[in-house]
Structure 1
Amino acid sequence: MRRKLTILFAPPDGVGHVNACIGIGEVLRDRGHRIVFAVCDIWRNKLTKYGFEEEIIRESDSDADPGTYWAELFSKGGMFGSKPPMEKMKNFNNLTANGLIKQIQASDERVKECVDRVKPDIIVIDGFVWMPSLMNSGIPWVWSISTNLLSIDHAFDDEEIPPGGLGLPANSDKKLWKKLRDEKNAALTPTIENFNNWLISNNFPTLPTQKLITPSPYLNIYMVPEELDYTDITKFPSNWYRFDYFMRSCCNDMFEIPDKLKSKPGKLIYFSMGSMAGTDVQLMKRLVSILAKSKHRFIISKGPLHEQYELADNMWGDQTVPQIKVLQKVDLVITHGGNNTFTETFFYGKPMIVLPIFCDQFDNAQRLQEKGLGIRLDPYDCTESQLLSSIDKLLNDKVLHKKLQRISKRIQKSKSISRVTELIEGLASNTDSPIDSQRG
């Protein structure tokens, strides 16, 4: 009989990371395994509804919900506004790399206590900073990459892919890639040196130069639809596995098209800039004012500061909406391009306009456009005509619609996420050596 495993998930506090881990945790839960999340207290009592246990390994200095908490940090950290991608990338590294390292240092003892108490068979880590007490615990660990794969380009040496977080085309100048990658690495060097000094002082192995994390010797998983993977320009090691999505269930969420929109003409469009970018109120007002001139109807995820702006007559929205249910009912999606929304939109075969704000959103938007599967626009600089005409272009593109429906049918039929259970159960049954089989 199959052995019941205890699987410990350790995601960063960000909404996207946790939601992706929830999707993986659910398929493992459904196989009868015990799922435990080691999280910050801002996630307290938010994971039990999925049948998961919670281990609080860190207290925050805020009473805000997770989305608002990170939105406030990103707003103060220079992640919003019309800035070059490299400037935002440096701001992101300064904000999150340093912030996550401080959190890891502060919570290390509680992490050790958590491992001793939970006694996991497998650990799943989602993030881009080394977690020493987990990765050196002797317990097999899985690295789950819930962002665009280019986001973790610093983790391995691969000159065949562009540096992440900058939205560079896959066929652009490799000399430029090297220059920009060197610039990114140089900005990270002081952070990594300080982290390594702390690792040494705590008797942990140090990290290689210019790396915040290294891949798992056991198993590495990432999510991107097959049609957008980077296997056309590079080859990944045998213990790397691609999945079309890590989508969570709806947990009995319900959604009906609001009465306000039912009788109005036009196609139905979902507009969301995510839990963080939605706090850029000036941007939301700008985009909403443009969409108000469209002949179509809009469901809007307004974000944490939803009370600070009004919607037009052809719109309905709330602070948050049950996205999975909404995606099933709309004709088109306008999104910031976070990897969960990005892959979930492909799951349902909807055409997409991506308005990237920072980091892997630039890479998702670029990959979508260069593969001819959607449109990338600058949310701060696109004109009214560009946005409105892009909506109509995608809605009227019958060839694209058929292509996206084929992709959707392939994804839904394959149920690729179910393969996670096979890989993790196989890892647990053979803990003497890492997985070394044909990459999926």
Structure 2
Amino acid sequence: MRAPKTIVFFPEAPALNCVGIAQACRERGLRPVFVADRSFAGVFARYGFEERLVDMSEPLDAARASQFWKDFIASHLPHFRLPPIEQLATYVIPVWEAVVDSALYVERELARTLDEIRPDLVCVDNIILFPAITRCGCPWIRIISCSENEIPDPDIPPHLSGCGEGDRACWAAFEAEFRRLIAPCHERYNAFLASCGGPAYPLGQFFEASPHLNLLLYPQPLAFRRRHPLDPARFQYLEGCVRREERYEVPRFERHEGRPLVYLSYGSLGSADFELIGRQIDLLGRLPYRALVNVGDYLDRYSGVPPNVRIAPFFPQPAVLPHCDVVVHHGGNNTFNEALYFGKPSLILPFCWDGLDNATRVQETGYGRRLPRYTFRDAEFAAALEGALGDEAMQSRLRRVSAHMQAADGRGKAAGLIERIVTRG
């Protein structure tokens, strides 16, 4: 009996985007293996997958690692109040510096790990190229799990800018400032590529399209109109890729039982914003809804939770969303896609990265609403929830996009494309 083909998944945050694809690969008899930073220990094993952990930075014990990330998040919370162009210097460029550091640090260990696994194909979900992947002797696939404009085009807004589709002055200002500030970091990365025998990238570029296949999680109904359309032979839209979770049962609430259910989550990074979340919990307590609120690692920061609100450090989001009526979130591509997949209106309060682009896009296309994260008034928040719940035109669009995305079966489509490449070779 022939051994199953081995598919390595090498994700970075948001790490769970690859789980759905890996589940479908396993159903087809392939062998998924997750290679990930040591901080992800147990994340993929929870879904029954083999893990191979590597150090992408100086190793820390669990306590020091936890404190490092809490300190990192706390130090950047003030920067999330800035407009996108001002976040470049305070947040975006420091993140790119850290990402380049990780690429340099892990290269040798990653190469050794891939050599030990001997994969038939590697799927990388990251924002930067790791030369070890292109040199490991098998085909590789790039997964684009952030907003669609991570693949640039002259006629769409720059990635991370939060600019509107028609605001070309915003595009130009953001792009010029990004290129100015990123130059030293980019020069360092190009020197690393040269040391690995690779060609230099143009200023501002840290990754390339795979010559084999590129998978975009983004739903095509919301895609931008490009000057240079993506070649379907190399680029495929998955229309979302939702992992399977165990069944979720909505708890009973002491107040407003049977009323619309709001789900609020700002992801692992945004959960550190406990003052904002506390304000919204108090506000939801005064509104005629039930609410589930993801508070991450900060459960001890909350007391006196209203009887129509339930909080928890984690919710199995794909199992929860079918029960919800509106989703309040940060615009991260995972939640952005899952809300659309289940036909739920989004109220997005973005603070950084692709959330800025997704918030603008969901407002422009009529699949949700954008609200300023820190300057909204209580009445605005309440009106936005009521409007999202009562907007029949929006609800109709959401039903159509949900049917489209679910019929596309992004998990199965991706697994089929992967299987075709490894069997063809």
TM-score by length of 1: 0.89
Rounded to whole Å, the distance in 1 between the matches of 2:390 and 2:204 is 47
Rounded to whole Å, the distance in 1 between the matches of 2:92 and 2:26 is 34
1:21 matched to which residue of 2?
A: 18
Aligned 8 A contact 1:40 1:60 in 2: no
Q: Secondary structure at the match of 1:341?
A: helix
Deviations 1:200-249 (A, max 9, x none): 33444333333111111111111122221114665223411111112111
* Residues 64 and 236 of structure 1: CA distance in aligned 2, closer, same or farther (over 3 Å): farther
Rounded to whole Å, the distance in 1 between the matches of 2:218 and 2:80 is 27
* Residues 136 and 206 of structure 1: CA distance in aligned 2, closer, same or farther (over 3 Å): farther
2:41 matched to which residue of 1?
A: 44
1:210 equivalent among 204, 208, 211: 204
> Does 2-11 or 28-37 show the bigger shift?
2-11
Q: Secondary structure at the match of 1:7?
A: strand
Q: Which amino acid aligns with 2:237?
A: R
1:164 equivalent among 159, 164, 182: 159
Q: Which amino acid aligns with 1:287?
A: Q
Aligned 8 A contact 2:274 2:295 in 1: no
Aligned 8 A contact 1:8 1:122 in 2: yes
1:4 matched to which residue of 2?
A: 4
Q: Which amino acid aligns with 2:262?
A: I
Deviations 1:341-378 (A, max 9, x none): 11111111111111111111011111111111111001
Rounded to whole Å, the distance in 1 between the matches of 2:394 and 2:326 is 12
Aligned 8 A contact 2:79 2:90 in 1: no
Q: Secondary structure at the match of 1:98?
A: helix
Deviation, structure 1 residue 413:
2.4
Deviating beyond 4 angstroms after TM superposition, the runs of 4 or more aligned structure 1 residues are 64-72
Aligned 8 A contact 2:238 2:409 in 1: no
- Unpaired runs of 5+ residues, structure 1, are 432-440
1:371 equivalent among 357, 365, 368: 365
Q: Secondary structure at the match of 2:323?
A: coil
Aligned 8 A contact 1:77 1:95 in 2: no
* Residues 80 and 186 of structure 1: CA distance in aligned 2, closer, same or farther (over 3 Å): closer
- Unpaired runs of 5+ residues, structure 2, are none
Q: Does 1:266 align with 2:259?
A: yes
Rounded to whole Å, the distance in 1 between the matches of 2:287 and 2:228 is 41
Q: Does 1:318 align with 2:312?
A: yes
1:438 matched to which residue of 2?
A: none
Deviation, structure 1 residue 168:
1.0
Listed as ranges, the matches of 1:92-131 within 5 Å are 92-131=91-130
Count, aligned residues: 421
Deviations 1:102-152 (A, max 9, x none): 1221221111111111001111111111101112333211000111122x2
Listed as ranges, the matches of 1:314-353 within 5 Å are 314-353=308-347
Rounded to whole Å, the distance in 2 between the matches of 1:242 and 1:185 is 28
1:180 equivalent among 166, 171, 174: 174
Aligned 8 A contact 1:265 1:295 in 2: no
Deviation, structure 1 residue 390:
0.9
Q: Secondary structure at the match of 1:271?
A: strand
Listed as ranges, the matches of 1:25-424 within 5 Å are 25-58=22-55, 60-63=59-62, 70=69, 72-77=71-76, 80-150=79-149, 152-153=150-151, 156=152, 158-173=153-168, 175-231=169-225, 235-238=229-232, 239-250=234-245, 252=246, 254-261=247-254, 264=257, 266-310=259-303, 311-424=305-418
Aligned 8 A contact 2:238 2:408 in 1: no
Deviation, structure 1 residue 69:
6.4
Q: Secondary structure at the match of 1:138?
A: coil
Rounded to whole Å, the distance in 2 between the matches of 1:256 and 1:21 is 25
Q: Which amino acid aligns with 1:111?
A: L
Deviations 1:1-40 (A, max 9, x none): 998311111112x2x2x10011111111111111111111
Aligned 8 A contact 2:219 2:240 in 1: yes
Q: Secondary structure at the match of 1:142?
A: strand
Rounded to whole Å, the distance in 2 between the matches of 1:68 and 1:299 is 27
Rounded to whole Å, the distance in 1 between the matches of 2:281 and 2:409 is 36
Aligned 8 A contact 2:6 2:33 in 1: yes
* Residues 407 and 69 of structure 1: CA distance in aligned 2, closer, same or farther (over 3 Å): farther
1:437 matched to which residue of 2?
A: none
Aligned 8 A contact 1:78 1:91 in 2: no
Rounded to whole Å, the distance in 2 between the matches of 1:209 and 1:163 is 14
Q: Which amino acid aligns with 1:257?
A: V
Rounded to whole Å, the distance in 2 between the matches of 1:274 and 1:369 is 20
Aligned 8 A contact 2:261 2:326 in 1: yes
* Residues 297 and 113 of structure 1: CA distance in aligned 2, closer, same or farther (over 3 Å): same
Aligned 8 A contact 1:43 1:66 in 2: no
Deviation, structure 1 residue 191:
0.5
Aligned 8 A contact 1:68 1:275 in 2: no
Aligned 8 A contact 2:369 2:384 in 1: yes
Aligned 8 A contact 1:302 1:317 in 2: yes
Rounded to whole Å, the distance in 1 between the matches of 2:422 and 2:90 is 39
TM-score by length of 2: 0.92
Superposition RMSD in Å: 2.4
Q: Which amino acid aligns with 1:314?
A: N
Rounded to whole Å, the distance in 1 between the matches of 2:255 and 2:170 is 50
Aligned 8 A contact 2:263 2:321 in 1: yes
